[in-house]
Amino acid sequence: MATTLISGGTVISAVGRREADVLIDGESITAILAPGQAAAFGIAADRTIDATGKYVVPGGVDVHTHMSLPFGGTEASDTFETGTIAAAWGGVTTIVDFAVQNTGTSVHEKLAEWHEKAADNCSIDYGFHQIIGGVDEDALKAMTYLVDNEGITSFKLFMAYPGILYSDDGQILRAMQNASESGALIMMHAENGIAIDVLVAQAIARGDTDPQFHSLTRPAELESEATHRAIQLAKVAGNVPLYIVHMSASGALEEVAAAQHAGLNVFAETCPQYLYLSLEDQLMQPGFEGAKWVCSTPLRTKHEHHQSDLWKGLRLNELAVVSTDHCPFCFKDQKELGLGDFSKIPNGIGGVEHRMELIYQGVVAGEISLERWVETCSTTPARMFGLDKKGVLEPGADADVLIWDPNGRTKIGINDKHHMNMDHSAYEGFEIDGKVDTVLSRGMVVVEDDTFKGRKGHGQFVKRGLSRYLH
């Protein structure tokens, strides 16, 4: 098997940084060496990559993506092929996507459908969470089976989208009790969907149909209320590990922090859109333009302190993970399904390519440290979701590596850096003080010299263990 030496760089981990060389044999890391040690030991690699002046970090792990997701009469515009190529361009070497079961369908059949969508199409490694949209006896049995046999150890439930994916409190409690027995982790979309539907119907009846009303009918209070309720249900279910997805609001974060302070197994993620984008600057753009930024949970007002609180949550580990909730739709023909009725705009923003870049800019701005960048974007997501060979640079780990050039620059935009399969960029015009230089997936160079060098089918399905946060 071919050997690769990444030399001259600064290796950044969740706990520190040091000048070191990374030795790769085949698909795995075999050693982290002091500078010059390889030559002293007579190690002659088949290939040497010069990382002088650059950061060498574990490949990004994005644990919240939706490739080819059916939603609102259309389907997310990135397939597993296009979406994993875009991810690689952004320094991401593993995604965990969601297989979706709706009420009245079989968990096993829907999981098989997602395996079929992804198999032989991915250029980086991938895993699955399972969405349980219909909690019944069959689904509960399937949950246990997936943990024991399929390497799927996390299940997402929805307090939103009545009639589509919504579970009531009794169903949520039953699923949580099941997860408590199997050791699985429950992921929760925490918004009070029953109340939201009332507000949406009232807004449309008043003629308030523009994209901004997507946010105004999903107030932050209904996110914090649902977060509180999910935490209490998890406590009743035996302190089952609970992971709140795509957190956007200060009040919801306060609920999580309070639960953590009380010793509960509660975790949360946020996404770049909630750290950088807002109701006023994006959703309220003239005409229908704001539809590009319709996602749930929604973008919040910049006149409160949601963004600064979320950055603080990342610093203090109240927020453990940054993911993207990558769910791209084109403006033309897809977002336009909601012309004249914001409730029909497909919910989702494309971001899998830009998470490592955007959160690095938080390092430049002094919001978080380099180590915390690696921790929230690579190490913790891998550890949280049982990806035992991902998210770290150490002997025995998969050789998933991002070489980052802090002296480079990246301009995001449809005519600049943009590889996702969509006709606009949510971050058009954003400039990053740094650049993805080289990306390796299991030892294979997939991005180098501003060229994609990977291949469809290289990415493998990864069976996940239980969350390493608690076991």
β-pairing verdict for 154-158 and 185-189: parallel
11-68 per-position pLDDT tens digit? 999 999 999 999 999 999 999 999 989 988 898 899 999 999 999 999 999 999 999 9
pLDDT tens string 85-133: 999 999 999 999 999 999 889 999 999 999 999 999 999 999 999 999 9
pLDDT for 446 equals 98
Q: Across the strands, what pairs with 445? A: 440
**410, 357 Cβ separation under 8 angstroms:** yes
- Phi/psi-derived region of residue 235, left when phi > 0, alpha when psi is between -120 and 50, beta in every other case: alpha
Q: φ, ψ for residue 251 (rounded to 5)?
A: -60, -40
> Would you say 111 and 146 are in contact if contact means Cβ atoms under 8 Å apart?
yes
Q: Is the pLDDT of residue 317 over 90?
A: yes
Residue 471 above 70 pLDDT?
no
Q: What is the CA radius of gyration of the chain?
A: 21
pLDDT tens digits for range 193-226: 999 999 999 999 999 999 999 999 999 999 999 9
- Give the number of C-alpha atoms closer than 13 A to the C-alpha of residue 420, restricted to the C-beta side: 31
User: Is the pLDDT assigned to residue 469 strictly greater than 90?
Assistant: no
Rounding to the nearest 10 degrees, give the CA dihedral for residues 226, 228, 231, 236: -100
Enumerate residues 6+ apart whose C-beta is below 8 A from 112. Answer: none
Q: What would the pLDDT profile of 229-272 be if each residue is shown by its tens digit? A: 999 999 999 999 999 999 999 999 999 999 999 999 999 999 99
**Does an H or E element contain 49, and which?**
strand 47-50
Task: Assign domain 3-57+391-415+432-452 one CATH number from 1.10.3720.10, 2.40.10.10, 3.40.640.10, 2.30.40.10.
Answer: 2.30.40.10
Q: Identify the pLDDT of residue 72.
A: 82
- Segments of the chain assigned to CATH 2.30.40.10: 3-57+391-415+432-452
Q: Percent of the chain beyond pLDDT 90?
A: 96
**Average pLDDT over every residue of 127-147:** 97
For residue 117, the surrounding DSSP H or E stretch is helix 107-118
φ and ψ of 245, to 5 deg? -90, 160
Chain mean pLDDT for the chain: 97
Q: What is the structure's pLDDT at 73?
A: 87
Question: For tokens 């005519």, what's the residue?
Answer: 415
Position 321 scores a pLDDT of 98
- Strand, helix or coil at 23? strand
Global pTM reads 0.98
Altogether, the residues listed in the chain come to a count of 471
- Residues whose CB falls within 8 Å of the CB of residue 186, separated by 6 or more in sequence, listed in order: 154, 155, 156, 157, 175, 176, 179, 234, 240, 241, 242, 243
Superfamily for 59-384? Metal-dependent hydrolases (3.20.20.140)
* Contact of 277 with 309, CB cutoff 8 Å: no
In the chain, where does the domain assigned CATH 3.20.20.140 lie? 59-384
Mean pLDDT, rounded, for 182-203: 98
